[in-house]
Structures are given as C-alpha cells and as structure tokens.
Amino acid sequence: MVEEIGTTTEGDLIINVGPQHPATHGVLHLVITLNGETVKKVEPHLGYIHRSIEKMCESLTYRQFIYVTSRMDYLSSHINNHGCALCVEKGLQIEVPARAQVIRVIMDELTRIASHELWWGAMAMDIGAFTPFFHAFRERESINDIMEETCGARLTMNYMVPGGVMIDIHPNFQKKVKDFIAFYRTKMNESDELLTGNIIFQNRMKGVGLLSKEDAISFGCTGPTARGSGLNCDIRKLYPYEIYNSVTFEEVLETSGDSLARYMVRLREIKQSINIIEQLIDNIPEGDFQAKTKAVLKLPKGEFYSRVETARGEFGVYIVSEGGTTPYRIKFRSPGFANLSALDHMARGSKLGDLVAMMGTLDLVIPDIDR
C-alpha cells in the first residue's frame, strides 16, 4: 500500500461498527477507516452505557457502593465486589476470617471459569462458528446454578461485603462444585476438538493482531491479553491477596502475542482455576464467614488502592476518603478500558474479518469500559 496506514484519505471507506452490531457484544461504537478490506484506523467512541458509576459512588456509603460495581464487569461481578471489599477492608484494617477468604477465592475462580467460558463461545461466534456458543453456555449454566443457590443471584451476585461474605455457603455448595468439576473434566477436551484444532480456526488466529510485550506494557494491557504477549501481570501472583499465596497454581504465559496466544492463555487459565478450586473445596475452614464490623463504616482520611485480577485483567479500586461515610472520590481502574486502547494499534493493516477476531480475543465487556 502506497499511502500511510493510519491516515484518512479521500476514497477511504469509513464504516461505523456499532453501537448496534453483532460483533461488538454490547454498545461499543467503532469508526473504522477501510481501504478495501484493509483496516487503516480504528477509533472507538465510548459512552453508550456510561452511567458514571464513579460519581454515583460518591453519594453511596461504603456498604452500598459495592453493589453498583457488580454492574460494571457483569461477567466477573464477584471479583469486582471483591476488589471493592478489599479496599474498604484495607482502609478499616479489618481482618477477614479464614473461612470467608477461602469462600471468596473459590467464588472468584468459579466466576473466572464462567467468564472465560462465555468469552470462548462469544469469540467463536465472532469468527463465524456458532456451535461453541451453546456448548460454552451449558458449562456456564452449571456455574450459575451453583451461584444462584448460595448467593441468590445469577449475574450480579453482590456476595462480597466488607469483612467477609454476605451469607454462609449453601449446604449443597461443596457437593455441587465437585460435581461440576467432575462434569467439566469430561467436557474440557470438547473445546479443543470443536474449535482449537480446526485448521480454519488456526489460520484465522495465528499471527493476527500482534501485540508486543513492550506495547502491552505501554498500553496498560493486563490479564490474558497481556499474558498472551509474555508479560507477567497476574495480580494473584505479583501482589497476592486473600489466600492466593497458599494455593499452587501456574501463571499462564504465551509469548507469541497474537490472537491464538490470547486464546490459549484463556483456555489454560480455566484449567488453573479448576486446580485452585480443587485444592480449596475440601478444605474450607470452620468459623465465621464475616468479621464483626460496625453498622456504619467510616474510612479514615487518606487514600486507599486495592487491585484484584478479574477475568479480563487488573481491576483497581482507588478510594480517596475525607473521613466521612461516603467516599470523596472513587476511581475504578477497569481492565477493558486499557485493553481497548490497544485495539487501534493491533488492528492497523489487518483485514476487517481479523479486526472482529481481535476484538473477540480482547474479551471486551462494554459496561466495564464505560463504567
């Protein structure tokens, strides 16, 4: 191509993908400059689902604001709640009982499996394979059933509260989780048989959407997106919270930085999550599921930052407190926002079909980006 990629010249085709488009999985709006089939520039326009959660939280108490955060990254709402609860606990220096810590980690990992499963199905749909979606949802449904029994909800659980978890686990919980893992182990290879080994799929993913390690750091990419480029960025390993330093699991890394690497990282992460759950499910200690806390929480004056590893990457909660019952300013560092900013860089020069596949491997959740 003679002209420079990244600039718009006369005769370029500019198409709007979204806010209503099957590939965006939500209300993301991308303005794409095309030369024939080749992408020259991708410009995200955000805000179609912006609810200004940060501003809302300024008028909610420290107990209330956690519920709003479930609505950000709705696929890993447990982990969002967890991050917020951790930040409040850090401010109040609450010691979380051992039982609550284990329950939290099990819930986080179940959420991660459910989220990755949904991503797997949705990404397969992006590249034109419809069947994996239903297979993914079968597994996700079993997790949702487990969640429903204990938390009372299937999507926005609101289970983590400052000091522990809201209610104790259901008596069936351990049995159901074990049943799920036994069932899942038999179905795990299905994903490889159905999609990963397919030659069309391999050709669509290999060498597409390259993101170097340096760029991944510079764009602030985290989670499986950055780990596909070989960057150690798993918060569970780097800054272990709860009991993550006492369980054995592997930080999944791939080095090629293409779509296939990001895909493989997520699939292998599911297996690691299963390992973590298997280590913990029989060893939930007896005791309180919630620490004794005051009815009205007041964080001391100061700034608190906590970070957790969601299914999409590093989720940070930054609370600026003036000593009142509500946060003065709260900032959510959402992983999707940073991952999306790398899309333009990755997509330039590739084909339109690949752009859709790339968006699939970034695992974008739009409410998480817009907040």
Site for other proteins in 203-232 (CB under 8 A): 203-204, 215, 217-220, 222, 231-232
Q: Of 74-82, 153-161, 174-182, 349-357, which segment contacts other proteins by CB under 8 A?
A: 349-357
Minimum CB distance to other proteins, residue 1 (Å): 14
Q: Which is nearer to other proteins, 143 or 165 (CB)?
A: 143
Q: Residue 73's closest CA among 16, 114, 19, 20?
A: 114
* Cβ neighbours, 10 Å, residue 173: 19
Does 192 bind other proteins (CB under 8 A)? Our answer is no
Q: What are phi and psi of 306, to 5 degrees?
A: -130, 150
Minimum CB distance to other proteins, residue 156 (Å): 19
Q: Which is nearer to other proteins, 47 or 279 (CB)?
A: 47
Does 340 bind other proteins (CB under 8 A)? Our answer is yes
The residues, ordered by sequence, that sit 6+ positions from 11 with a Cβ below 8 Å of its Cβ are none
* Cβ neighbours, 10 Å, residue 143: 22
Does 338 bind other proteins (CB under 8 A)? Our answer is yes
Minimum CB distance to other proteins, residue 351 (Å): 6
Give the interface size with other proteins as a residue count (CB under 8 A): 71
Q: Of 92-100, 142-150, 160-168, 347-355, which segment contacts other proteins by CB under 8 A?
A: 347-355
Site for other proteins in 232-291 (CB under 8 A): 232-233, 238
Q: Which is nearer to other proteins, 178 or 333 (CB)?
A: 333
Q: Of 166-174, 194-202, 250-258, 284-292, which segment contacts other proteins by CB under 8 A?
A: 194-202
Q: Residue 332's closest CA among 132, 84, 46, 157?
A: 84
Which of 337, 366, 367, 368 is the binder for other proteins (CB under 8 A)?
Answer: 337
Site for other proteins in 90-119 (CB under 8 A): 90
What mask of x and - would describe binding to other proteins in positions 45 to 64, judged by CB under 8 A? xxx--x-x-xx---xx----
Angle 61-65-71 from CA coordinates, rounded to 5°? 165
Site for other proteins in 24-43 (CB under 8 A): 37
* Cβ neighbours, 10 Å, residue 197: 10
Q: Which is nearer to other proteins, 233 or 270 (CB)?
A: 233
- 203-240 core/surface letters (b: 16 or more CB in 10 A; e: else): ebbeebbbbebebbeebbbbbbbbbbbebebbbbeeee
Which of 133, 144, 154, 288 is the binder for other proteins (CB under 8 A)?
Answer: 133
Q: Residue 343's closest CA among 97, 62, 99, 32?
A: 32
SS3 labels along 219-256: CCCCHHHHHCCCCCCCHHHHCCCCCHHHCCCCCCCCCC
* Cβ neighbours, 10 Å, residue 3: 12
Minimum CB distance to other proteins, residue 316 (Å): 5
Handedness of CA 63, 68, 74, 80 (dihedral sign): negative
Q: Of 97-105, 152-160, 241-249, 311-319, which segment contacts other proteins by CB under 8 A?
A: 311-319
Q: Which is nearer to other proteins, 47 or 174 (CB)?
A: 47
Does 127 bind other proteins (CB under 8 A)? Our answer is yes
- 118-127 core/surface letters (b: 16 or more CB in 10 A; e: else): bbbbbbbbbb
Describe the chain by its helix, strand, coil percentages, rounded to 5: 50, 15, 40
Does 125 bind other proteins (CB under 8 A)? Our answer is yes
